[in-house]
Amino acid sequence: MIHNPSPAPRPDRSTRPDLAGGLFAVTLISLACALASLMGGLDPHLDLFSHFLPVWGVTGLVAPTMGALVARSKQGPVFPAIWIAGAAVAASVWMLAAPDLLNRSDRADGGGQRLRLVQLNSWKHNADLDGTADWIMRQSPDVVVLQEAFSQNLPLVRRLRQELPYRVSCAGRAPCSTTILTRTPPRSHGDLKMGAADPLAAAWGRYASPAGDLWVMGVQLPWPYPVDARRARQEALIAKIKSLPEDELILVGDFNATPWSALLRSIDRDLDLVRVTRGVPTWPARGFLGLPKSTAFLPLDQIYLGKRWRLIRLVRGPRLGSDHYPLLIDLQRSADHERKFGAQKSSANSPQARR
């Protein structure tokens, strides 16, 4: 007796509307988060959503695309609605991200004093301190600014001090994660902490150079939440910077804020400095959400320059032992400033001035 095999069951097409509806819900959630990001300037709690703007952008693009593939037909009610929501997500993301992506910093093209700087949150769980030190030393920097340079990372600091022996940090206050290492000694230095265990760690140094004083400040700001604590520390940082000569200042660090957040936009607005890090993601360099490796998607590390400085080159370094990528920056002091400084110095040393 011959039995004809029964045909394989067809996929239940009735599940497709449910899947399309689920994707529509994901798109609506992304839209709600993107709109909350837009209103971050009105409410600091809503601004928390803005730090994850790339997530809302990706989900707002992927969910409508998948919805189009699973929808039964283009005549169904889900299809046009999901694309309208997706377009609204894209518009919201673009409104926040476009200014930072399109406003590129001018590159220096003339002569002047050159300076090479490395910025890195060295991470208290860094498992490759030797590899981190090797890469930094190969760059031959004039200045290295580290965050999370706690006792666990002292071997890294010791290695770097073989070539950059002068260290500025939050002396006498613990914990302090920010360290500035240089080849030349500071003329003066200081720090900024609001308490012995405060998460704001900032240190600054003033250095002599042939073209005038060089001021460097390194900082690690706390996370955006709790909102009030972050705001207080950010305002204290801005007030301190205002007391320094901003024209000469180089401000670098882990700001724990993204360029499209109201938090960082307020720093851009309040300081007479130019942020030259435009859309350079530095976190995460290690695993994220349980993954052994992940793609960096948040630009948390920032570089600000005073008017006397021009950017020559800014590149993101390789994945090291930290959860942040390093930044390598080549700078040039404004040639116009050097000429003015030289003229003032010559005038001060002239026979008439010595009379």
pLDDT in tens, 100-129: 877 766 666 656 789 999 999 999 899 899
pLDDT at 66 over 90: no
Q: Are residues 76 and 184 in the same domain?
A: no
- Residue 171 has a pLDDT of 61
Q: Are residues 128 and 158 in the same domain?
A: yes
Indicate yes or no: pTM above 0.85. Answer: no
Range of the domain at 30: 15-102
pLDDT band with cut points at 50, 70 and 90 for residue 6: low
What number is the average pLDDT over the span 210-228? 90
Of the residues 74, 102, 130, which one is the last residue of a structural domain?
102
Number of structural domains (the chain) is 2
Of the residues 45, 67, 102, which one is the last residue of a structural domain?
102
pLDDT band with cut points at 50, 70 and 90 for residue 33: very high
- Residue 111 has a pLDDT of 65
User: Roughly how many angstroms between the first and final C-alpha of the chain, as a whole number?
Assistant: 125
132 assigned to some structural domain:
yes
State the chain's mean pLDDT as an integer.
Answer: 83
pLDDT band with cut points at 50, 70 and 90 for residue 332: very high
108 assigned to some structural domain:
no
Which among 271, 249, 248 is positioned nearest to 341, based on CA atoms?
Answer: 248
Q: Are residues 258 and 163 in the same domain?
A: yes
